[in-house]
Structure 1
């Protein structure tokens, strides 16, 4: 038993060193003096927190790993046991954990710590109460209703989080796997983007870091498949698909549909061209603010542009979604008379800037009224 324990201890020490554990530990000790909250957990701690990774504690799983509910000192956490690791980047893992742990945005899931005494690192995140946006959209309970206002708020908050990663994080971070299953909802249905950095980060140059690209069928930028180069516009394409989910509540890939109609993005682009967008919309919002819905549809269309350079940035997308939701709040949340509403609507069409409606979208607004 003593011999086996020593052998296990040496193996855990080997993994710890391989992933830059000592570098990470020294950095944490320095940063703790200014209130830095990141913890290196032992293998024993994460096993205890999850009852030895009991299947009863599984709260999610996918291509990158399995997420367990755990408890540390009476604090509920989400513990991600990853499946794969980029062998060539092991030594950079500790440094990259420091970068990811310093990301501080209310719409991004907080990385609390990691465990390095295992073959593939285990990540510890804050626990988010209401699960994924995917489940909220596609597995609604009978009688439940998702208002257009809430959909717009979730879209805006998610876009704002991704804009933060692209423009405010240092170095900039590209997510690489934007999808509704990676957007979580807290107890107040506030959006929280997750799974950035779920795998080892891959430096494309000295100025940028991107997550190891897994990609998900239906969300992945077609341009990436041709060039194998992930850019900020790859996240934009994927986010465009999330916008479609929010306004249609339809699956991204429908394997039961004819081949040409399996992809939601393809069906959407055809519907926009043929002015049949109304047929795709979720029944719950068909009678709501059609102008706001079409503004979102028009924005999604720009995100799905096959030419990456012609897609908007995440910052521009967040600004446009903020404009749409605020205009809806003003026009429908207050009792405005028609005289007051007319200049507001006119102002929107003139000042839309990058997002000014094209002719097809303008004509499509009238459908369903």
Structure 2
């Protein structure tokens, strides 16, 4: 149901428009004929009330017929036609009454009729503009926030889908590593790996349900995660962490760094003769930067960019700045912003 919600606008607007219209357009001629100001203002107040009510009904009808932002042009055309027609008929009728009854003490010439109609239309225009301006603003806000809400819901849906893909993806890679240890007869290492894997995977499941976590906690997990990787790659994987102590309490989406390390291992050769070096550090802009040397595998691994997509989706969901990816012939670098506090 359409509700104009304009009670205070009418209570203030009608007396003001009646006063201004009477003073601007009729004060001089009323003085010439010695008419009482209060009589003239009283009649003007009644006319303004009736004309406002009729015009308001036209606004109501236009909104009911053309309610959306995309129908603004049709709505305005409807209102303009309504105002010209109704105001013209109303002012023509009142002018005829005044002319025949000589309530003001004189007859109206034809030009006087046209003058009164023009004054009525002139007074209606600013009122109609205010009504339509407020309506457009409310419709724009409604459309904007609905779009933002839909965008957030879409991102959340995508993120949940990505989360469900990450969990089995990580487990699949870990089981491959464990299989390699078993096949090589490294039973002690396999047992240690299973224990570490259970701890890491427990953290993976728990932290993945949180929106953000402290950088210190993420790095704690990363050290354990890289130890798992070193079980297989040994000296082929090198990790250097250089984090400003005052930024350890800052936050980021969980598993952000883990996904970047996993990508690096997935797409590059890892061997003792050609170590894959991963450096994690913070910069002056309060970003955590993960950079690795590029040594692509001979058989290129198909990339669906799931990890980077997941990270980017999380930052969009948090309304934060985008991640920055920088690639050269020798390095691959990703910078992700750190958050000072938990977002609302």
Q: TM-score range by the shorter chain?
A: under 0.3
Instruction: Identify which of structures 1 and 2 has the higher relative contact order when contacts are C-alpha pairs closer than 8 Å and 6+ apart.
Output: 1
Specify which structure has the higher proportion of helix. Answer: 2
Which TM-score applies when normalising by structure 1? 0.24
TM-score, normalisation: structure 2: 0.26
Greater gyration radius: 2
